[in-house]
A and B are shown apart, each in its own frame.
Chain A
Amino acid sequence: MRFNLWLPSLMQISLLAGGLCASPAALSQEAAPADPSAIRIAYLTQEVEHPPALSNLDEPPADEGLAGATLALADNNSTGRFLKQRFELEAVTVPIDGDPAQALRELAAAGHRLVVLDLPGETPGALARLPEAANLLLFNAGSTDDSLRNALCAPNLLHTAPDRAMLADGLAQYLAVKRWTKWLLIVGTRPEDRLYAAAVKRAAKRFGAEVVEEKTWSEDHDARRTAQAEMPVFTQGKRHDVVIVADEIGDFGDYVMYRTWEPRPVAGTQGLVPTNWHRTHEAWGSAQLQSRFKAAAQRTMLPRDYAAWAAVRAVGEAATRTGSTAAATLTAYIRGPDFALAAFKGVPLSFRSWDGQLRQPVLVAADRSLVSVSPQDGFLHPKTELDTLGHDQPETGCRR
């Protein structure tokens, strides 16, 4: 019964090669054969209710994630036409009260083997454990939960989204370089804020910083009306070099800046942010990706767009390198030692063998300037400096 109610509201969008990439006359002789076996990629997301936030200047776009997957599909098809490979994307959006597990079962039943999950929290871990998902390759492009890379990891689950530990480590390395090692940590009341704070505390320990004091910003302040009065008093405390905020939905973090008791920079979820993607990033050819995205989506590229882009491009890269359209071949290549994705971050990206996480540089950005890119010089690693960010092999909690 519930299933029947859910089905009609399921939005299904099929984006086919022909509709997406222009194919002017010069290319007609290069056109794909009449009936090529298309490489099918599914994209699964769920509508979410955005909780009310004090800072509500920016409306979150409805297509964050999907727009990235769509651009990557166009990139794959531009390459694919030279190799007679065609890619299709089927995007499924489950409504707020819908069941993503059922949607994934449907996709598996329809023959999908490669699925990008743009879902929050621990949902990707639960979906990966469905019996129907056993033969799928799932890309987590939406959840930064560290648990998915540890206790809830799964052999069929890769992560193109960074985890909180990776982000916090990227920030911590930069703060260590600046020698801003005494941190005042302000945490929101939501569960994900506490997870972010946990990653910050872990990073402090790893890179020689100290959380001198931790405070919780409870929801009974009216920061917008009385921020001038509340924040200075609230940020009084032990001597610190920098204020770190853990406020994932952007409820109060923007009101900390310029209102602290001491003149201190603000970093974390607001202020100086560690992120997998940012509009200020233009090095290593990313200016091209930014403008291609903007032309296609009519807005700037956001972190989930980049994670979904990387997942769909990973499939494209595997198809290019193996010359195959078979999901099993592509899956094996993506997980194998030869996989390397050029993804506008100056170094080739690949998936960690122990937890399926995409190793990637972390951008450290202010609103209108890219401040730095981690790993920072001097944080050494025997294999790749990218593994100084997040959960390295010796410390992984993934037993898959």
Chain B
Amino acid sequence: MTTARSLLLAALLAGCAVPALAETIYVSNEKDNSLSIIDGATLTVTETVKVGRRPRGITLSADGKHLYICASDDDTVQVMDLATKKILHNLPSGEDPELFALHPDGKQLFIANEESNVVTVVDVPNRKVAYQVDVGVEPEGMAVSPDGKWAVNTSETTNMVHWIDTEKRAVVDHTLVDARPRYAQFSKDGSRLWVSAEIGGTLSVIDTASRKVAQTIRFKIKGVPQDRIQPVGVKLTDDGRYAFVALGPANHVAVVDAQTFAVKDYLLVGRRVWQLDLSPDQKRLYATNGVSGDVSVIDVDSLKVVKSIKTGRYPWGVAVKG
């Protein structure tokens, strides 16, 4: 049925003559130790590149020339030159890096070390650990505020958001959220922090100024047991219109009105949808589906899933380059 649907959608897509986009989509395949490279114009995998063991979080450098890859089982962050697709060097990352966030200065990389309960801050140009900060049990989600003042980390077993003051280089506050917080993203203006809770099944919207939970968003999908609804990846559109939330084994991406906090729609994607990224023009959303081993392409204007693209085994992270 999925095949039939994607064929149909592919046919529709071809008919609609969607303008060719120049973007490139990078997807880390957790159980294949590889990176799938997707051409945004044709929406096909053009190349699969071997990387370190158990690649998970990936993110682009500020200038878009490099890709940082958490190679969790190699306990390192690899730096790939996107022109040559060669690994240039490794960054010291601390143990088992899973997710990270780049400071707006492009120089400080904040890495969650899942097995050692610390956040490692790497000085990227000098390839050195700048400092480490103790956080709760199983740190996972990382985000840096647009003004660079805050780095936040979510800890999955402690169930908190830890607020790291980047000038003081220390944790200065904690916000309790629902069970197993996985992912954090600041709004474009930095006034709000959105945090998903996988086992709690909720999305918390935290006011940055007070560091208190302002809104808790819940999800309900007809025909899907409530405990399958496990929010993981979150992406906000820059215009403040939507928050997209990957709901894991519920196999849907929720569309939340970022102003009213009402859930507007649920989009059926592949199995165990994990992480999300938007195209630079914000017209497309890409979602990695771990269990079905593919990436769903969502058209943001029509809120329709337009294609699924087969990748390697257990696609995890996704990053889109303009």
Residues of A within 8 A of B (CB): 23-24, 26-27, 29-30, 75, 78-79, 82-83, 285, 288, 291-292, 295, 320-321, 340-342, 346-348, 384-385
Contacts and interface: CB of A to CB of B under 8 A. Distances in A.
Contact of A384 (B176, B179, B227): B227
A347 B134 contact: no
A30 B164 CA distance: 12
A26 B162 contact: no
A79 B158 contact: yes
B294 interface: no
B170 A29 contact: yes
A288 B132 contact: no
Contact of B136 (A24, A78, A340, A348): A78
Given A82-B162, A340-B179, A288 B133 contact: no
Nearest to B181: A342
A79 B199 contact: no
Given A30-B171, A291-B115, A340-B179, A347 B136 contact: no
Residue in A26, A75, A347 with the greatest tally of chain B CB atoms within 10 Å: A26
A78 B160 CA distance: 11
Given A285-B180, A346-B230, A24 B115 contact: no
Contacts of B200: 340, 342, 348
Interface in B36-72: none
Contacts of B174: 82-83
18 contacts: A26-B132, A26-B170, A75-B137, A78-B117, A78-B137, A79-B136, A82-B136, A83-B174, A285-B138, A285-B156, A295-B115, A320-B158, A321-B176, A340-B179, A342-B156, A342-B159, A342-B198, A342-B200
A231 to B, nearest CB: 38
A81 to B, nearest CB: 9
Nearest to A295: B115
A82 B137 CA distance: 11
A79 B159 CA distance: 8
B315 interface: no
Nearest to B140: A285
Residue in B118, B157, B171, B201 with the greatest tally of chain A CB atoms within 10 Å: B157
Nearest to A345: B199
Contact of A82 (B158, B169, B179, B201): B158
B15 interface: no
